[in-house]
Amino acid sequence: MITYNEQNQTFTLYTCNTLYQMKVDHYQVLLHTYYGPRIEECDLSYLIQCADHSFSPNPNETGYDRTYSLDVMPQEYSTCGVGDFRLPSVELELPNGSRSANLRYTGYYLQKGKYTLPELPAFYSGEEDAETLIVCLEDAAAQVTVKLYFGVFEASDLITRAVQIVNQGTETIRLCRCASLCLDLLRTDMDLITFNGHHLMERCLDRAPLRPGIQSVGSIRGASSHQHNPFVILCDHDADEEKGLCYGAMLLYSGNFEAAVECSQYESSRFVMGIHPYHFCWTLAPGESFTSPEAALVCSPCGFAQMSRQFHRTIRNHLLRDPYSHRRKPVLLNSWEATYFDFTADKLVEIAKEASLLGMELFVMDDGWFGSRNDDNSGLGDWRINKTKLPEGLESLVAKINDMDMAFGIWVEPEMVNENSDLYREHPDWVLHIPGRSPARGRGQLVLDFSRKDIRDHIYRQLQAVFSSAPIAYIKWDMNRSLTDVWSAALPAERQGEVYHRYVLGVYDLLERLHHDYPHILIEGCCGGGGRFDGGMLYYTPQIWCSDDSDAVDRLKIQYGTSFCYPPSCMGAHVSAVPNEQNGRITPLETRGVVAMSGAFGYEMDLKKCTKEEKAEIRRQIQLYKTHYDLICQGDYYRLSSPFENPSFTAWEHVSADKREAVVSLIFGNQRPASPFHRLRLKGLDASLQYQVNSGEKLYPGSTLMEAGYPLPPVQKDYQSLQLYLTAGS
């Protein structure tokens, strides 16, 4: 619910558990007054105090009143160059060369339903699920209008933010910074949680208290990156899964981003999130506008668990456009670790036969099927069937796979090109490159300039020919290097600061075409694993390969960190062979299955090398996943212990919406002599119900399982697993 109080000029945004308020003050500055637990509505600007602060300038319209300064006022969208020295939200370069932005309130609009953003991913809704508020600000001297978009999903405690900058003047201006959200809080006694890592170990939780100055994470790699994720948390020092105030913020963007917090000299904090200002400069001719990516906020007064579940539900119901939203996704087998580049059609058919006999339903042909692709250094850009490997073409292969009652999927990497390809030989100028410099290679490949529509059209025509030649059910869209040498031949020198963003828009454009033309195809995103795991990609690819590291023990940390924002159903997770390809670790097949089935489940191994006992275990895992699919992929998710803090075991739980069913998964760590006995306290159950555990005769009260816990059996080997299936008694 959104209200406007005309008398005191306050906007109040209500969700089930929170309240967000801003106020237009007597100088027409839009102030941020409150965001936190839901309270009675009143004008909360009484919390803002004014005083004479040395070296904090005063706006001209205040005259000689030295008690009012933008440098200390909590603003809804911070200015720059006019007296506020903290993190700016927007920076304009005006025709006279000055850089400033001085914003004042001019009006607002209210509407049912959720706004949409041109060319950009965004949460969606019907009129009954959300409301929209648009607040208009203006820099009169610059003749620029700034429209602040707020979408309120009341039931989900989620508020979305976006910004549109419009040049209303008669001269061209340049936009040098445009944040998607600004959140000013009258406190600094908080922690900042970020999710960091590297290729093969993404989204590991890092927590640190706020300190004076600026703390930030971001990416200038052209993708949201393995190193830092565009999701962060601000929280109370003592916040944990069940208690404490926390703010979760995600950016629906797949390119360069920045999330920064500044603690001011007067113990207030400002959080700003949006496109990274590095190499960003957007030209706005008269009448033109720029729209920022969307950001989303969830405030939880009750700790991280509630915040995560609100994100999970809203992402599943209002962001994903999943062809399997109302049916079970198939269990897949990916061919990569079974064949790499060395395969024939007959070899793939034999692998698929093994998969079909074990209960798998989707066979994915990975890299190596196109052009002259026999290694990392050739073929990318030539999206046509390699007739040496597939002499009868794709249609024949797919028909044979379909005859086994298996769907067929295929791997592509459309954004890249190898120098050893027909495409590069014909169009060497189509890659991102700086004139006079030889471009850097990554994984033996160069980056196509996806900011250019002609290049995207050429790639799409090739993909269309492939995807229309046979019934394709799944696409794995990969990206295996960061962007360098970012310069486009299609833009003049003064507009090269637009290339990074135009590249991302180009990727979104091609994915949107695929979604429109092939709505039945499930697209899985990938960027060397989890290098582009963000809300922007999820809008187009409703599941994302979580990491190239498929080791079950490493995946505990990766999937744990990912779960703070993103639902398990989005996490591509496979059982692979041991010793693990990435780290050489050997873990039990049962353990690998327990970890992988907590995401979008599949396998990636040569099944012909499996023993009879291993195949029996795989059949059991697949049947288990199919039986509990709705519970795992649609249930509420609870983190029961942290792999970063508890060396003894890592545990998590999926609970049905009616709390009558739950599945608990647990992986033990390295064992030691004379290990202590452990008990596991469950969460999310109905305290008044009685539960069976693994179909046993004994009934356990829900309150007992949550407060006293469940005893864990002793184990004698490393990395053993345990699963508990709880059903409420009649």
Residues annotated as part of the active site:
534, 614
Question: Hey, what are 415's tokens?
Answer: 């954004």
CA distance 424 to 380: 9
Measured in whole angstroms, the distance separating CA 99 from the mean position of its chain's CA atoms is 33
Separation of CA 282 from chain center: 25
- Rounded CA-CA distance 538/511 in Å is 11
Give me 141's structure tokens. Answer: 């001297």
Q: How far is CA 556 from CA 188, 375, 417, 445, 664, in A?
A: 32, 31, 34, 32, 14
Give the Cα separation of 69 and 86 in Å (integer).
Answer: 12
**Helices 589-596/612-627 angle, 10° precision:** 20
- Mode of pairing for the β-strands spanning 721-728 and 690-693: antiparallel
369 φ/ψ angles, rounded to the nearest 5 degrees: -95, 0
Paired tokens of 678? 């452990």
Cβ pair 432, 496 in contact under 8 A:
no
Straight-line distance from the first to the last Cα atom of the chain, in angstroms, rounded to the nearest whole number: 39
C-alpha distances out from residue 270 to 127, 247, 618, Å: 32, 13, 51
**Cα gap 684→699, rounded to integer Å:** 17
- 174-176-181-187 Cα dihedral, nearest 10 degrees: -130
- Whose CA is closest to 55, among 42, 69, 43? 69
As a whole number of angstroms, the distance between CA 195 and CA 183 comes to 20
